[in-house]
Amino acid sequence: MSIRKTDFVEGEYYHIYNRGNSKQKIFLDEKDRERFLKLLYLCNSKKRIDFSNDIVKRKLNAWDFEKGESIVNIGAWVLMPNHFHLYLTPKEKTEARLPFRNTVTNFMHRVLTAYSKYFNAKYNRTGSLFEGKFKSVHLENDAQAKYLFSYIHLNPVKLIDSKWKEEGIKNKKKTLIFLNSYRWSSYLDYLEIIRPENKIINRIDFLNYFDSKDSFQNEIFDWIKIKLKED
């Protein structure tokens, strides 16, 4: 992974994403998704944590591992069959001893390298798993941030309605039932469902978008409608 020309700035917010090389699937089963989520938790640390040595060989539950202070704050995430999205902000500048000069690049380098090694070993493959280095978009205003928040949490809807982004969500009840059963995003965390994955996100550095669980479910649909009308 090459070093980026521009730094990720402390106190700013970013959309981070990547997909499989040649659009291939990067998550083939639940174990793959679970490993990636555990890496989002464990790699978000000032410590150098090796999943095989620190977790597997010691027969520990990754969610119970005391990883110490995090280096980025994650506000939202979603896993799709061949890509992922994150919404995050760096907490501070990286210490000089770490390989990259900013916390976001260090964090993503750890996650993607560890997951690629796991995936290639499991499926007996070689070569790059991801389509180049991860992509990033700097969020410049509150409206853009709210739209991204909605977009990330509604992204899985394409699995049941491939044209929802172009044509809008036609059946909100059906969509809510599906989202309530989809484990692979932070949607359930904002519904205050207690689960180990709660540890991935940290809402402290993110805007308080919603007053309640009901307003969360309603407003993510509203922000998508606004964007569709603008387009």
- Give the tens place of pLDDT for each residue, 110-155: 999 999 999 999 999 999 999 989 999 999 988 888 889 989 999 9
Cα–Cα distance between 83 and 77 in angstroms, integer? 11
pLDDT tens per residue across span 147-191: 899 899 999 999 999 888 777 788 888 888 999 999 999 999 998
Q: What is the pLDDT of residues 18-41, one digit of tens each?
A: 999 999 999 999 999 999 999 999
**d(Cα 92, Cα 128) in Å, to the nearest integer?**
30
- 13-136, CATH topology level: Alpha-Beta Plaits (3.30.70)
Amino acid in position 33: R
Listed residue (12, 1, 2, 77) closest to 38, CA to CA: 77
Residue 90 CB: number of other CB atoms within 10 A? 24
pLDDT band at 225 (very low <50, low <70, confident <90, very high): low
Picking from 204, 73, 74, 220, the residue whose alpha carbon sits closest to that of residue 146 is 220
Domain residue extents for the chain:
13-136, 141-194+206-230
What pLDDT, in 10s, does the model give residues 65-91? 999 999 999 999 999 999 999 999 998
16 sits in which H/E element: strand 13-19
